[in-house]
Amino acid sequence: MLRTRWAHSRPFSFMALRPSSISKLVTFGFSLAIVPLVLVIVSVTISIAHFAEQGQTSILRAVAMSNAANRMTNAVRSMERYGLQYTVLQDQALLVLYQQSYDDYKKAAAQFTAAAPAQSERQQLRSLDTSLLRARQLLPIVALEGNRSALESDFSRAGTAAQRLQTAVNEGISTEVGKLGTRALAIKRMTLLEVLLVLPLSIAVAIFFIILITRPIRRLDQAVSGLGDGDLETPIAVSGPRDIATVGERLEWLRTRLNALEAAKLHFLRQLSHELKTPLTAIREGAELLQEDLGHELAAEQREIVQIVRDNSLRLQRLIEDLLKFSLAEGQAGAGMAQAIPLATVIEELLQSYKPSLRSQSLRLDLQMDAVNVWGHRDRLRTICDNLLSNAVKFSPPGSTIHLRLFAEGDNAILEVEDEGPGVPITEHEKIFDIMYQGSASSSGKVEGSGLGLAIAKEYVLSYGGSLELLAKESSGACFRVVLPLAEEPNSPDSADGAGRLRYHPAHTGAEDHHPGTG
């Protein structure tokens, strides 16, 4: 018998009495599913064996009775022939042959009696014995007196009795064969009924245990996938065999530990960012004061040094802010805070801050947007668009056009940002999304980027189940495509009118490219 350790950890249910290992659960389930089939096989085997034994006995009995009846019939005929010839010829040899035939009859009768004939057959055999005994007693008298009528009458009755006995035996054999056929049909029907009853039960038990076995494994797979995707908020609870439940508990411990480490990392980064930005702000403000108040008293080299200090302090501050953003982007987006956001409205609001930069560089913006709504967070969606647009502004030559297209395709929203700059070599299409990767292309006269803009944008896009890629182009320039899942309903009434296309050509005014991009 299968011995299994059970643990009472829940209100009574089958899984509350859980086995200590999944191997024992598999063994128990397999045994429980196969036992009904084994019982059916044993039952059918016993029935067939009993039927075979009964059939063999019936066949042997029928053969013995039929053989004995045939021998008795032949012996009666021989006795009649030899006896009648003896009464005429008085030849002792015929009398010897008569006695031999009578002995054969007695042996056949004994064999017939040993086969346990029916009551009617025994009555026929007694009638035959009486006729043959009377004929045997009359034989010497008839041989002396010559009156054969009584002897012939006895032999005639014996022959009729032998014939009736043969007929009764044949009818008995036919009846026995019919019984065997009926028994075989009953066994067939019973076997079919048992299979039809037990097979669904075994299948149901097998399916039940398959679900019991695979459900905790699927839950483990989901838990591992969730951890791999950065989901550190959903608790991991795996029920089932003790060894699987133990793995689930270790995964829950790992999730809690990772969550704590993530929180500690974010706290450290915020603290570090605050601690670094405070002296950097003082350095930048001091450089600006030197430049504004003492600029006319400083030599050219001194003014250049002050400018270098100011620019690099700004760059270092932006790098710290981008590092903090990237660390936040690596975590999973809060699912409960996600909303249906009209992406066209987010882009229009963002473009207001880009008007000075576009005008200062005489850049034209070809804006074609449909009203689409995506699930996400307004600040993260704004950061995605901001990084792509700032990247395009950074590398676009003066007087060129930036193309921005927003439309729906299937269940996704597509955002494409295309510039007419130097483009990206095909060998750098994948590397360009790496952290701190600057790329070989450069734009003169601009503040160098942090190398995190595209990495942050891609992390945000991936957190929503979308994709960000750089499309291959035959002409110069770069074209970035963002794919985000569509939302069914917007969460605010300020979505853009999707009935037509929007085209946007800003005027030319001076402004500074305020956001670093990644080339």
Structural domains in the chain, sorted by start: 23-200 (1.20.120.1730), 230-332 (1.10.287), 334-485 (3.30.565.10)
At position 380, the amino acid (one-letter code) is R
CA proximity to 478, closest of 392, 401, 407: 392
Looking at residue 444, what is its pLDDT? 42
Low-confidence ranges of the chain (pLDDT < 70): 1-19, 146, 230, 274, 277, 293-298, 322-337, 435-451, 474, 488-519
- How far apart (Å, rounded) are the C-alpha atoms in residues 111 and 117? 10
Reduced to 3 states, what is the DSSP secondary structure of residue 375? strand
Beta carbons within 8 Å of 115's beta carbon, 6+ residues apart: 61, 64, 65, 68
Tokens encoding 285 = 């403000």
- How far apart (Å, rounded) are the C-alpha atoms in residues 239 and 224? 15
Q: How many CB atoms lie within 10 A of CB 241?
A: 24
Beta carbons within 8 Å of 303's beta carbon, 6+ residues apart: 291, 295
Length of the chain: 519
- How far apart (Å, rounded) are the C-alpha atoms in residues 228 and 255? 10
DSSP string computed for 76-111: HHHHHHHHHHHHHH--HHHHHHHHHHHHHHHHHHHH
- 384: buried, middle or exposed (CB in 10 Å: 19+, 13-18, 0-12)? buried
At position 203, the amino acid (one-letter code) is I
Looking at residue 15, what is its pLDDT? 45
- How far apart (Å, rounded) are the C-alpha atoms in residues 259 and 237? 16
CA 386 to chain centre: 43
Looking at residue 65, what is its pLDDT? 84
- How far apart (Å, rounded) are the C-alpha atoms in residues 37 and 194? 9
What residue ranges in 64-177 does DSSP mark as E strands? none
At position 128, the amino acid (one-letter code) is L
Question: CA distances (Å), 480 to each of 163, 353, 457, 502, in order?
Answer: 109, 21, 11, 20
Looking at residue 244, what is its pLDDT? 80
Long-range contacts, stretch 188-195, CB < 8 angstroms, 24+ apart: 190/47, 191/40, 191/44, 191/47, 194/40, 194/43, 194/44, 195/40
SS3 readout for 16-29:
CEECCCHHHHHHHH
pTM: 0.45
User: What is the gyration radius of the CA atoms in the chain, in angstroms?
Assistant: 53
Looking at residue 403, what is its pLDDT? 92
What angle separates helix 378-395 from helix 453-463, to the nearest 10 degrees? 150
- 504: buried, middle or exposed (CB in 10 Å: 19+, 13-18, 0-12)? middle
Reduced to 3 states, what is the DSSP secondary structure of residue 6? coil
Looking at residue 345, what is its pLDDT? 92
DSSP state of 396: P
For the CA atoms of 201, 202, 204, 208, the dihedral, rounded to the nearest 10 degrees, stands at 140
- How far apart (Å, rounded) are the C-alpha atoms in residues 22 and 304? 73
CA proximity to 432, closest of 409, 404, 407, 456: 456
Question: CA distances (Å), 332 to each of 65, 108, 320, 413, in order?
Answer: 92, 100, 21, 20
At position 407, the amino acid (one-letter code) is F
Whether 14 contacts 28, CB under 8 Å: no
Tokens encoding 477 = 């320039």
